[in-house]
Amino acid sequence: MRLTQGCFSFLPDLTDDQIYKQVQYCLANGWAVNIEFTDDPHPRNTYWEMWGLPMFDLSDAAGVMMELAECRRVYGDRYIRISGFDSSHGWESVRISFLVNRPAQEPYFALERQEVAGRVVRYATRLCPSREATP
Amino acid sequence: MNAHAGTLRGKERYRSGVMEYKRMGYWEPDYVPKDTDVIAMFRVTPQDGVDPIEASAAVAGESSTATWTVVWTDRLTAAEKYRAKCYRVDEVPGAPGQYFAYIAYDLDLFEPGSISNLSASIIGNVFGFKPLKARRLEDMRFPVAYVKTFQGPATGIVVERERLDKFGRPLLGATIKPKLGLSGRNYGRVVYEALKGGLDFTKDDENINSQPFMHWRDRFLYCMEAVNRAQAASGEIKGTYLNVTAATMEDMYERAEFARELGSVVVMIDLVIGYTAIQSMAKWARRNDMILHLHRAGHSTYTRQKSHGVSFRIIAKWMRLAGVDHIHAGTVVGKLEGDPNTTRGYYDICREDFNPMKLEHGIFFDQSWASLNKLMPVASGGIHAGQMHQLLDLLGEDVVLQFGGGTIGHPMGIAAGATANRVALEAMILARNEGRDYLHEGPEILAKAAANCTPLKAALEVWKDVSFNYQSTDTPDFVPTALAAV
């Protein structure tokens, strides 16, 4: 399953050149850039693992690209995302977030249903290993 | 024209009988509004032969303490404090016979945190007043002390984005069509296809409540099946605005509680339920971590004509105070009324923490929102993927773009329609962030994205000639200020 979280998941995966430009956009806005990775892309998994601290004081995206290359070297089999964080008043939140790495075999989500009273169904979304990988 | 009319004082002021409003203390051109005053600005069209100052003073009088004749019981009160004071009347540029009247109201005239009370004063009694042909409430300024008595948007743009895990681009939605007649099962199919195809939200229309062809519980159940299926299929949070509008508050609470029980992230109400009901639902939404969508059903009956009624910028301000999270605020390029500058003013009211006076956008006052949450504007009605560059340029990224026909009417099906919109949007955001001149290169950017996306290609082809170019009825009246030559 192609996970479509983040800003650009309906486009072909971004090239490093495209990623560089998006990071530069974040820096031009004064945002801190953060690299995170996970093997649990559940839509409610807010806290992916941080690859070091957010990068607060960069002016050139090249620094982020070096960190990304290193993160990919270690966690290339996981999802990696880059986000831009705006600390200005009224936002103090993420302003952009996009995927920069996917595992070769993406997992999928099974929808589990528990039927309860009054035709109500309780839903649970469960992460499953890639169908391709299953024997 | 702002000469003093000579307010009478003391014994003269309270002689029994009828007296001009401007002599009773409702016209005070020397008055300097206090930081704590509520200010309202009306467009006044007096009957032929009626003095515009007297007409404006009458508005001040009738929207505060006055009645048609002098009453001695005024003397039992601090009457001068409670009288609204018209302090300025200007001719409307380019509109002979119309006047902008500025009126200041003491804060003590209003119950804290009540739009119903505010509107009962400001528009309650004065719009049918005989000496006037027409009247329009154009803009208001609320003091911070008053703003702080309101909850404001239950969720707000920042937390809505965090909760949905969607950043950096407009959200995408679609209203389910046909808006009436589908059964719950068929309705849920449209929701599923649209969300799976790439939309973030789908939406009930304003008049979908609980009808013979689809009762509300059935709709909610099928819609939530669709939402959860689409969520699992994409790994993204999805939502559908379940319209809980109903005949009574008890019914609305029942429907909202059921939506919560089913795990919906958002519910919806119509403007026609009234200000008190809207504030009740906003408080409910805050208590229940629910995004509250407002459909501005009915507003055009009083917002559209420039001479009479209430400007939509007023409704936008009231709704930000009242505490909804989404409000339909115009598309500019779509099928519904929307002058670009006026619409820009509405969007600023929804999203900024401070609105500076900007006459060209129809904003007559500085307004601080005192950290009230931001209200997400929604652009809906006659928009399609081929306009993506214009929409992004005009409306910015903190907006829900709703392509109803532009999704469901796609020749390859609903999911393909959704995908076309999402691809067009992402391609445009990518280009904008790269620093490209996306407004002018828009068609080219879309064509390039369409090369990898057959649904977008089809959408651009089907709707390539669609535009809605009509004269706007509601445009700002102002005189551009000449910049001093340096």
Is A59 touching B (CB cutoff 8 A)? no
Beta-carbon count within 10 A of B479 CB? 9
Cα angle value B334/B206/B330 (rounded, 5°): 25
Lowest pLDDT segment from B65-69, B109-113, B424-428? B65-69
Region B6-26 average pLDDT: 90
Q: Which residues of B touch A93 (CB under 8 A)?
A: 158, 161-162, 167
pLDDT surpassing 90 at residue B343: yes
pLDDT surpassing 60 at residue B246: yes
The pLDDT of residue A131: 77
Residue A122 distance to chain B (closest CA, Å): 7
- Beta carbons of B234 and A90 less than 8 Å apart: no
Report the length, in residues, of chain A. Answer: 135
pLDDT tens string B133-152: 999 999 999 999 999 999 99
ipTM for the complex shown: 0.96
CA distance A135 to B422: 34
Provide the number of CB pairs (under 8 Å) joining chain A to chain B. 104
pLDDT tens string A77-124: 999 999 999 999 999 999 999 999 999 999 999 999 999 999 999 999
* Best CA proximity match to B43, nearest among B117, B124, B98, B97: B98
Q: Give the A window 96-135 contacts with B, CB below 8 Å.
A: 96-98, 109-111, 119-121, 123, 125
CA distance B286 to B154: 5
- Beta carbons of B168 and A21 less than 8 Å apart: no
- Beta carbons of B232 and A125 less than 8 Å apart: yes
Is A92 touching B (CB cutoff 8 A)? yes
Higher-scoring residue by pLDDT: B252, B466: B252
The pLDDT of residue B485: 46
Q: Give Cα B371 distance to the centre of its chain.
A: 18
Partners of B308 in beta bridges: none
What is this structure's pTM? 0.95
pLDDT surpassing 90 at residue B67: no
CB B433 within 8 A of CB B394: no
For residue A14, what are the CA distances in angstroms to A19, A20, A48, B448?
6, 10, 20, 15
pLDDT band at B479 (very low <50, low <70, confident <90, very high): confident
| Catalytically annotated residues of B | 177, 295
Q: Which residues of A touch B434 (CB under 8 A)?
A: 18, 21-22, 25
Contacts 24+ apart (CB under 8 A), B208-217: B208/B176, B208/B179, B208/B180, B208/B243, B209/B243, B209/B245, B209/B246, B210/B246, B211/B180, B213/B180, B213/B181, B213/B182, B213/B183, B214/B182, B214/B183, B214/B184, B214/B187, B215/B184, B216/B244, B216/B246, B216/B255, B217/A119, B217/B258
Region B90-111 average pLDDT: 96
Mean pLDDT of chain B: 94
Residue A81 distance to chain B (closest CA, Å): 12
Residue B118 distance to chain A (closest CA, Å): 27
Mean pLDDT of chain A: 95
Which of B167, B436, B456 best probes binding to A when mutated, by most A CB atoms within 10 angstroms?
Answer: B167
- Beta carbons of A22 and B236 less than 8 Å apart: no
pLDDT surpassing 90 at residue B468: no
